[in-house]
Copies of this chain bind each other. A is one copy, B any other.
Amino acid sequence: MKLNQKGLLIVLSGPSGVGKGTVREALFRQKSHDLLYSVSMTTRLPREGEVHGREYFFISPEEFKERIKNNKFLEYAEFVGNMYGTPADIIEQNLQDGKEVVLEIDVQGALQVKAKMPDAVFIFIAPPSFQDLKNRLLLRGTEDDENIQKRLAKARRELDFAPAYDYIVVNDEVNNAADRIMAIIRAEHAKCSRSLEGYFRLLEEEDEQE
């Protein structure tokens, strides 16, 4: 019985290197719930194999500016000369259609989203320890020692933002983390603040039928 007809915006965030992407993939492998991944918009050109609307919506810098002007981004940022943004209008439409939208985003972006969508569910994905985070960064093998130290220091600073989130999910094991997120989604739908109105509407319909 679905009392809350509107979908949830689920914001997965946390320090860089924590494994947000892997957790998100594990979450999408669970078949119990239909989730929709929020595709970002960017002004950078598509790389080979990238599909418009799958990896990104590829739009022109003019279009991007126009969307900023019209307040059509939940958040946006520049990264090495290109713009990246989370489209507010597409997400809002999907939520209205009852779809659960999952947004995977860094800590700065999540705080911007919170300012515009306080109703969203903010989940902080945290490393089980800094040693674990360091191991992850080492395993990637893409960065030297100095950069790894920099990223760890950045991760520590990003932890300061955890209290702004609703939930903390420790990524001790990726499927465990995904299970916890599924439980959070189910529980959020059961919240009186989201579902009581729908329940009372249901009872009213019953009364009218009599």
Contacts and interface: CB of A to CB of B under 8 A. Distances in A.
A36 interface: no
A192 B206 contact: no
Contact of A192 (B130, B131, B165): B165
Interface in A167-190: 167-170, 172, 179-180, 182-184, 186-188, 190
A186 to B, nearest CB: 4
Contact of A183 (B169, B187, B203): B187
Chief secondary structure at chain A's binding surface: helix
A170 B192 CA distance: 11
A202 interface: yes
Given A129-B202, A187-B183, A192 B162 contact: yes
Nearest to A202: B129
A19 to B, nearest CB: 14
Contacts of A3: 168, 170
A124 interface: yes
A77 interface: no
16 contacts: A3-B168, A129-B206, A130-B206, A162-B199, A165-B192, A168-B190, A168-B191, A170-B199, A180-B186, A180-B190, A183-B183, A183-B184, A183-B186, A183-B187, A184-B186, A187-B187
Given A129-B202, A165-B192, A168-B191, 13 more contacts: A1-B170, A3-B170, A123-B190, A129-B206, A130-B207, A162-B196, A163-B196, A166-B191, A168-B192, A168-B196, A180-B186, A180-B190, A184-B190
